Amino acid sequence: MRIRQHIGNVDIHIDTSRIDNNIREAQKLLNLAIVGDCEQFVPFQQGALRGSAGFPDGVYGGVIEYNTPYAHMLYVGQVYGPNIPIKDSDGNITGWYSPPKKHPTGKEIQYHAPGTGKEWFETGKQRYGQSWIDLVKRTAGKE
């Protein structure tokens, strides 16, 4: 952005393009660092959730989104239902049916991969938050 102001006998010209570019680059690096640092805390069974992290506004935007139907449920750590068992002719459960409209059941999800769990961004922020801040400061403030 360029700002030009004339006050009295003084012409003021400010070009913020260097800082604008630095902030844009800092946002990109922050987004990538968050996804990379938080990956170890994202629940893992087959890898689809970890592989679904994306940037709906582009890598320079400020939003990270996990794009699977169950991402929200796993993030909040609560089973959503109703979950209706599908049984074979002998009465054995062969699968589950869950209607499109689901509600929290109050039952906590049991995560199986060690170190993973709910609210993985918050866990990552606790562990890596200061390094994220330092990264942004270094990148935004460079010449």
Predicted confidence at residue 109, as pLDDT, reads 95
What does the pLDDT look like over 96-108, one tens digit per residue?
A: 888 888 889 999 9
Report the C-alpha gap between 130 and 23 in whole angstroms: 17
Is 33 within 8 Å of 121 (Cβ atoms)? no
Predicted confidence at residue 3, as pLDDT, reads 78
Which pTM does this prediction carry? Answer: 0.81
Predicted confidence at residue 143, as pLDDT, reads 67
Structure tokens at 99: 């209607």
CA distances in angstroms from 86 to 22, 78, 91, 98, listed in the order given:
55, 22, 9, 10
Among 103, 117, 127, 38, which Cα is nearest to 75's? 117
Check whether 64 has a pLDDT greater than 70: yes
In the block, residue with structure tokens 């006998």: 9
